[in-house]
Amino acid sequence: MAQLAKPSRVIRTALLLSTALTTTRPLTGLAQQLKLSAEVGKAELFEGEPIYLLVRLQNLGTDTAWVTFFGLGTLPFTMAVTRANGNPVPVRMPSVDFYAPPNWRGDPIPPGASVMNTLVLQDLAGDERPGGRHLFLFHFPPAEYEVHVEFAAHLGVPRTPPLTLRAAPILFRIRARTVAEEAEVSELESMWQMDSDTTSVRGHGPGAAYKAALIEWVEQRFGKHPDDPLLPFLLDNGMYRLRPTLMRQIEAGKLPRFDPDTSEVVSWLRLGVIERQKSSTGGTRLVQALSARHPDQLAALATTLGSTLCGEMARYQAQVSRHLQRSRSRQPR
């Protein structure tokens, strides 16, 4: 899935942001008080439910703190996952090379400010699954789990001592699916298979109908069960899922290209799910995804969502977007 490709974009974004903001030498001292926290938002999830991992770095001190790139799935982060019996769960943190500009002194976090990042845990951790129709790269079978997240805050930051921040452990339980949840996951996995089916029908494979079927499913599900935890995942990862066979048909002009970011229906569904799930980690995942495609909506979202978890994410992403725009406007043409 495309999720594993995102860390490189996170690093490029961080580089642009740090170049725009860095004008003085980093401050150091005991006044810097950085707190790392991590959560998945629930103590119990059903098997096959997206595990939205949200990590936040807060500056509780009185001076500006300077840190390295803050992006889950990038080199400064390490993560360990274990089962209740102590057996480790495989974690696949990608190693991404990056280049720091000569004037880079770290990314500043002003006093009282925080930075946030979220992803679907099954994109980085879990058991291997046999080939077939699965929503996620990796799998968490029913069991109790513990997640430890660490952040090397000064990695690559010039003239700073090593600083490793540790979040409090996350504890959660995966339970077996109910009959209704089993039917839902099975239906989605069948739909997931549509864009990889090469059977030709009137010159087109069934994959051509994937996006329309997914949008219809999400629209109906949102109408009946707006708190469904799968909705943020489907409106982000699901909308960009294209197998090579379908991509070749699109590139050859045999099928129309569908852009979810310009679809009024998709936009309405995304905003509706965010509003409904504004206090969930799943909601923050969708806000973060939306920020890369519709930065113009972030300020209004932040006002609408207020002090909720999604509101906090919207305000942070709006700040990032503003600084990126300033950075681009200052670059020589």
SS3 32: coil
How far apart are alpha carbons 215 and 256 in whole angstroms?
Answer: 16
Residue 21 pLDDT more than 60? Answer: no
Instruction: Tell me if 53 sits within 8 A of 38, measured CB to CB.
Output: yes
* Contacts (Cβ under 8 Å, ≥6 apart) of 10: 69, 71, 72, 73, 74, 117
How do beta strands 170-175 and 44-46 pair?
Answer: parallel
- Amino acid identity, residue 309? L
Identify which has the larger pLDDT, 291 or 4.
291
List, for residues 261-271, the tens digit of each pLDDT value.
557 888 889 99
What burial class does residue 328 get, using C-beta atoms within 10 Å of its C-beta: 0-12 exposed, 13-18 middle, 19+ buried?
exposed
256 φ, ψ (degrees, to nearest 5): -70, 145
- Per DSSP, 227 falls in state T
**Most confident residue range from 5-14, 118-127, 206-215:** 118-127
Per-residue model confidence as pLDDT tens digits over 239-258: 766 554 545 554 555 555 55
Would you say the pTM of this structure is higher than 0.85? Answer: no
- Secondary structure of residue 122 in the 3-state scheme: helix
For helices 298-305 and 264-276, angle between their N-to-C axes, nearest 10 degrees: 30
Other CB atoms within 10 Å distance of the CB of residue 136: 20
Tokens standing for residue 297: 């909506």
Cα–Cα distance measured from residue 109 to residue 87, given in angstroms and rounded to the nearest whole number: 37
- Residue 25 has a pLDDT of 42
Most confident listed range (40-49, 63-72, 148-157): 40-49
Q: CA–CA separation, 272 vs 114, rounded Å?
A: 26
Q: What is the dihedral sign for C-alpha 21, 23, 28, 31?
A: negative
- Beta bridge partners, 89, equal 81
Nearest Cα to Cα of residue 156 among 59, 15, 58, 320: 15
